A and B are shown apart, each in its own frame.
Chain A
Amino acid sequence: QSALTQPASVSGSPGQSITISCTGTSSDVGGYNYVSWYQQHPGKAPKLMIYDVSNRPSGVSNRFSGSKSGNTASLTISGLQAEDEADYYCSSYTSSSTLVFGGGTELTVL
């Protein structure tokens, strides 16, 4: 299985909105509403931010939102804050009952 495709890096200024894309195929992202997003700060464990495309776990800021169109899922962060600077990974369930991650996106808050 091939990794999902994410941009290597994105950046934005405080208060702005940014969107990170995650592109797969009809066998993973496009075939199921089972995309999740994780935030990872250096040296820390990943943190679940979005599950099942657009659901936020309890405790996650509503500045984080997810969506999907066709084979591409997106994570949008609005009202960007310095603490949002981190690596972000998408993941999808696949038609083979496996899971696949994206390559990760480094978010820089300018």
Chain B
Amino acid sequence: QVQLQESGPGLVKPSETLSLTCAVSGYSITSGYYWGWIRQPPGKGLEWIGSFYYSGSTYYNPSLKSRVTISVDTSKNQFSLRLSSVTAADTAVYSCARLPAARYFDYWGQGTLVTVSS
């Protein structure tokens, strides 16, 4: 059974960098499939942040591209999200997920709430 678990600080100060990690179990990231991040502001809809394939291809939401970096640590079977220069508008539940063929999400983590506040 594929499982994804997000972890990281729940509170980030404005202008700082948000950093989250997604630990994957039950499936090796290097076995294939794409992996990605999605966020959902409280009471609002889903927003795709970005997706990657372990061997190199990475795609970002154009509206976040200048501030986002997704990286992978295959030795730990996990991947990470960094979002720089955060503001209150970045407050959201951040979720990681698996993408078969890069076009839909079949397994999701439970999500973690990150609040941007001083």
Contact = CB atoms under 8 A, between A and B. Distances in A.
Interface of A: 1, 3, 32, 34, 36, 38, 45-48, 51-52, 57, 89, 91, 93, 96-104
Contacts of B63: 1
Contact of A89 (B45, B51, B100, B108): B45
Contact of A46 (B36, B62, B103, B108): B108
Interface residues of B, number: 22
Contacts, number: 61
Contacts of A103: 45
B62 A91 contact: no
A33 to B, nearest CB: 10
Q: Chain B interface secondary structure, helix, strand, loop or mixed?
A: loop
A91 B111 CA distance: 19
Nearest to B111: A45
A93 B59 CA distance: 12
B1 to A, nearest CB: 13
18 contacts: A3-B45, A34-B104, A45-B111, A48-B104, A48-B105, A51-B100, A51-B103, A52-B103, A57-B106, A89-B45, A89-B46, A93-B102, A93-B103, A98-B61, A98-B62, A101-B47, A103-B45, A104-B46
